[in-house]
Chain A
Amino acid sequence: MNLALNLPPPLEADYIAAANRLEEVSLVDEGEEFDAIVTNKVEVAQVAAQQKLHVLLHNREETDISSMNATQQEQGGIFMPAHSWRFRPDVQAVIRNHDVGNLGDPGLVRIHRWSTDHISSVDASTILPEIDLILWVFGKPHETAYVVGRGNNFLQVHLGFADDGMALVDYAWGVPAKYDSFTLIGGDGAAYADDHHNMNLLITDSPIQAIKTGQGTHHIYGLLQEFVTAITEARGPAVTAEDALLALKTSQSAIDCIVPAEVLK
């Protein structure tokens, strides 16, 4: 399969590394003939989709996902929103156990996500990954939402689902170091994917430091592998436009009901 990339340099490098691991993939320039493309530009994606080519789109805009979905429905190529967070090794391990029923019915998804990013505003696309994971676990839309926020630094999203499911995410931006924790508690067991568990110790002249053992770019490899496999098996991808649109809609509804944290001073 000939694969073209149209991505900003850091992401492109990750995809080149991932593509090099996939035997069935040959990277080609965008000007050559290709079967599939990975891009963050919807206009590039649209041109490819109109030619019935397959598209992996790194873009979280609701209008772009919708338009690509419509084109894909008409033309029939595979369109996959690039929800790379679903392919993190730790998340994959949790979901695999969930999918085979080891954990029982999901009761609670608890996420702590602290980011070093300084963001200018909190919008639906900012919180999309965690909301998508939650919806992926519960497999249905939420019923209730209560959201507390503080400017562009902090957001807490509390969702309720039918059959007693619940989810709680605390987002923080502008934190000095990145930290992630993803816990799934089910009726028969629980899974804990927590950076806290994956720390080693650095001992120097300074006070002892915890250093995280990262997961590299496995999420890009996993994402690309799924995209390529869906094409070769002529099946639907693991992430659909419907998934992305539901996650965006849920994220937007959470943003729309933010209660300012300052109100109770």
Chain B
Amino acid sequence: MSRHDRQSFLGKHSESVIKATTVGVVGLGGGGSHVVQQLAHIGTERYVLVDPDTIAESNLNRLVGGTSEDVMKQATKVAIAERVIRSIVREPNIGAYHCTWQEALEPLKSCDVIIAGVDSVIAKDELDKFCRRYLIPLIDMGMDVHEIGSRYLIAGQVVLTTAGAPCLRCMGIVTDELLTQEARKYGAAGSKPQVVWPNGVLASTAVGLFMQLISPWHGKGAPSAYLEYDGNKHTLTPSKSFALIKEQPCPHYFAEEVGDALFDIRKKVQANAVAMDAQVKAADDSSGSQSKFVEFLRGLLPRMRRR
């Protein structure tokens, strides 16, 4: 019996499809750490992991894979996620970026799907914009603990959004009011309460939406979804307000906006020629021999320099 026999219902080619899919995970805290663990078990081999933080003592209540030793060593969250993946997947291809996601745009552009667990509304808004520009489905998780009188309500949501379908603004997850509130609180001390089990529910649902996208096992998949979590009732239900808008086109983003704004193929071709030149020089310097590979590269250069 092979490792993936029990998930063969996902399709005859599901194993190769899962292996060939590049997943970006932005934010490797409570939600993202659960996500990478599940992706690894499913058989995902290609990852772009992005998080600017190191683990702290207060993360140990929910960060999957995090240990007391990691806290002492001030391990980065991407390193912890990478270790979790490598303990399950034999030869994963991992791009681990200990930085903000805005500093990892190039690798993120090549992702087939991005799963995000970012706290701020601004980050959600910008990530949605980025994903729409490069036609990348975005699965976003969010969770909050609200104080109501002397009691608490755990609430959250998991959403899937793709270009053309309703965006996070259409869904009301990003609003100007929330952006303004967040901007006012910028730099204020304190952190949101977070616990492990709601993160697990939301992360599992995010992975389910991811699998539905890349290896659908039923015919009712959709390019967008909005599931609301009530942590007090322990329920996850489709948003009623979203049901009213899910068939409507997004009025916030337009197809004409996709791609790099200042793209110039001539610069890309030139940059490739320079890179090729450097490779040839390095090969010459290291061996001093006229290998077939060097000759091959030289043969390509005149064509690339022509313009």
Do A and B interact? Answer: no
